A and B are shown apart, each in its own frame.
Chain A
């Protein structure tokens, strides 16, 4: 039965400090299949333990030398011992009858992914859910999540952006296991640069994030946990091909070197060489791509010192535009319109945690990161290039008020250095940001109630003092019914070009009307999570509402004049309402269903008055059906997405043939995938956009890309038709 443990990966726990390794899971009752709260959980040879939460979940920190026995005991149940060889997720089933003296450790089926216990409104996307959408990078991993919309940036560059709470992904902070990354110019490729198969889990938190990770989470946080190096020796291979000759390959090798040291190497290569033009507009639907991505992580796990260092390098080249574009012949001329985006990025992330020998509630954490990102791009004959060098240091000290106190605090110092050098067309500009900051976070935690109050003060060299207060509250009405609320402020520096690079794919004349100020907003929200049983089936119901109000925003204006792209500081109001409700149910043991509805209302004061933000659908529905049979050897998934109408930027001032409707069409996107598991191998086939929906007339005046009316930035739906794909995954671990 321990075979299954070996297949499991490091669990899904955002530790407050983020330094400790843990064993986590759910304890359930074998007969009633219900979670058991209050189970005593402890290491056999250590006088330290924990108890399971009201929803049966537990998190146990590993401060012993593995392997070690972990004991689960509860009155009226058979005590059980689980032999733990490595950190990770271990779900335990306790039996109340004396005859059945065995522990079953099972992998959780991925249908339920909302925690009753997390302090913030967090949705977790684990590997089981990631599998539902095969390909290939992080932006595509959100296909089965209703909280995040993945949208194309423009009709030619193929870069995808996410939207959350009705706002762009740049307002969401991305974390690499707790450390901010892919900031600033890296937003050009966004999540296209993170290979999905490198990931273990994704935690999606709505609303303003913790002050511990910096000031930039205005509307949410996405924390990525990569495959850990220390669980077991493991070689993982993932190969993918689709009907448009896109090929991706991933190799991951994780190796524990000793009881304390471990390392993992991640490789990814991607290429697309076929010139596809399904909508016959003379432009490639997806750009030609070549790229590779390398990452190496090292981990040291001592008794009182724990450390990690991660090196990451990526390079990608994209060439798009007209199908007959040839860089060497046509670049710089007006023979054919081409788009090229070359990005390379080097990043080093490090973190070290020191645990107190006297007090196990005390720790000191240090994180540091260095990043250099370089972009070279052209849109027709317009050039944009940028370089960013940034360094970041964060330290945080974590302690309880006294040894047995319900009050705890985190105090920290943060420093960010950011240097930008950019040039667009014939002008160059740059800036240097120096941002020292301090923060304090106070947590009061009771079994049913948690309150977190936090304050940050950042002294920004360009934008002055920035104060960011944040409050998070959680109250459990019942063990499985959780009410959460949050309010807080965040800010960031906008990058007019890098944040909206795809908008340059047009003949619009670009003007930055005034020097961009810092973008800052207040975000507040409430959410309700309710898990219950109906006809013996577990049902998870969630509903939430968030409101974001900008104090300042760099407004991107494509409405005032269809021939111009304007950037200016907000003068007036800009806000976003987002309401979402979702139900997940196991209809039968084998059939899982998820249905979600989302409403978004985003309005901005432009130069000519208030308008709905363009290209944000007001209504969206998602449905996912998952069916598995034959002992989960076969898994079938079907996802349907409905996108309601959204407002298109005004084109009424264009000559008549180049005018577009004021609203987009509503449309459906359907995906299906079938996976067959054969021991260490998995084979999958699937289809994206089965209905073959293609946005009609996506590009304005595609015949004259060098004329004044050309615009490829008015994109609300796919420009790429149906894609059939297939792939294979291999997971070879020594311990099996």
Chain B
């Protein structure tokens, strides 16, 4: 009985802890065209608080991210990616952000105009 109580208490604790630090996953379509883009994004997000894993798949043009939603929101992540000049799902970089990219990293049609 005592063991069972302890077990329940422990389980509750674990569940509670994981709820605080809930890890979410997202895969964003982007505007990646080369190895350099991969490096820029992976290095650029490496130390962003709340982001656990960043993987850029050049061939699929996708960014896979694991993050703690308690520390950073998806919108904030998208803004960070935009800042580097890249598309993040439905969020696009500004002209100034986009122009900072090397010619080879500029994917056509990213900006609407």
Contacts and interface: CB of A to CB of B under 8 A. Distances in A.
Nearest to B100: A75
A74 B99 CA distance: 10
Contacts of A38: 40, 43-44, 84
Contacts of B34: 47
Given A42-B36, A404-B59, A75 B85 contact: yes
A517 interface: no
B39 A50 contact: yes
Given A73-B102, A75-B85, A404-B58, A447 B36 contact: no
B13 interface: no
B100 A79 contact: yes
Nearest to A402: B59
Contacts of B35: 403-404
B108 to A, nearest CB: 14
A199 B108 CA distance: 48
Interface in B11-69: 34-36, 38-40, 42-44, 46-47, 54, 57-59
B47 A478 contact: yes
A50 B46 CA distance: 16
A47 B42 contact: no
B88 to A, nearest CB: 14
B26 to A, nearest CB: 19
A725 to B, nearest CB: 47
Interface string A46-86: 01111101100000000000000001011100010000000
B110 to A, nearest CB: 15
Contacts of B75: none
B104 A37 contact: no
B43 A51 contact: yes
B36 A51 contact: yes
Nearest to A71: B102
A446 B59 contact: no
Nearest to A40: B102
Given A51-B36, A446-B42, A42 B102 contact: yes
B44 A49 contact: no
Nearest to A45: B103
B96 A75 contact: yes
Interface string B74-113: 0000000001110000000000110011111100000000
Given A40-B36, A54-B43, A403-B35, A49 B100 contact: no
B104 A51 contact: no
A479 interface: yes
A680 interface: no
Interface string A24-50: 000000000000011010100001111
Interface string A281-325: 000000000000000000000000000000000000000000000
A479 B84 CA distance: 18
Contacts of A633: none
A421 interface: no
A537 interface: no
Nearest to A447: B46
A448 interface: yes
Contact of A42 (B43, B44, B47, B104): B104
Contacts of A49: 36, 102, 104
B34 to A, nearest CB: 7
B47 A479 contact: yes
A74 B100 contact: yes
Central interface residue in B42, B44, B102, B105, by most chain A CB within 10 Å: B102
Q: Which of B47, B83, B85, B105 has the largest number of chain A CB atoms within 10 A?
A: B47
Nearest to B59: A404
A54 B38 CA distance: 15
Contacts of A73: 100-102
A272 to B, nearest CB: 53
Nearest to B93: A75
Contacts of A40: 36, 40, 100-102, 105
A479 B43 CA distance: 10
Contacts of A50: 36, 39
A47 B83 contact: no
B47 A448 contact: yes
B31 to A, nearest CB: 15
B36 A48 contact: yes
B41 to A, nearest CB: 9
Nearest to B56: A404
A447 B100 contact: no
Given A40-B36, A42-B102, A53 B43 contact: yes
Nearest to B35: A404
A205 B29 CA distance: 42
Nearest to B32: A404
A75 B97 contact: yes
Interface string A465-478: 00000000000101
Contacts of B57: 404
Contact of A448 (B44, B46, B58, B103): B46
Nearest to B39: A51
Nearest to A52: B43
Contacts of A71: 102
A53 B54 CA distance: 16
B83 A54 contact: no
Nearest to B34: A47
A476 B43 CA distance: 12
Nearest to A42: B102
A484 to B, nearest CB: 17
A356 B40 CA distance: 24
B43 A75 contact: no
A403 B83 CA distance: 26
A409 to B, nearest CB: 18
A79 B83 CA distance: 15
A447 B58 CA distance: 16
Contacts of A74: 100
B59 to A, nearest CB: 7
Interface in A371-420: 403-404
A40 to B, nearest CB: 5
A37 B58 CA distance: 21
9 contacts: A37-B43, A40-B36, A48-B36, A49-B102, A73-B100, A73-B102, A75-B100, A446-B42, A448-B47
Interface of B: 34-36, 38-40, 42-44, 46-47, 54, 57-59, 83-85, 96-97, 100-105
The 9 closest A-B pairs by CB, nearest first: A447-B46, A47-B104, A75-B100, A404-B58, A447-B43, A38-B44, A42-B102, A49-B36, A448-B46
Given A37-B44, A40-B100, 12 more contacts: A37-B43, A38-B44, A48-B104, A49-B36, A51-B43, A53-B43, A75-B83, A75-B84, A447-B46, A448-B47, A476-B46, A478-B47
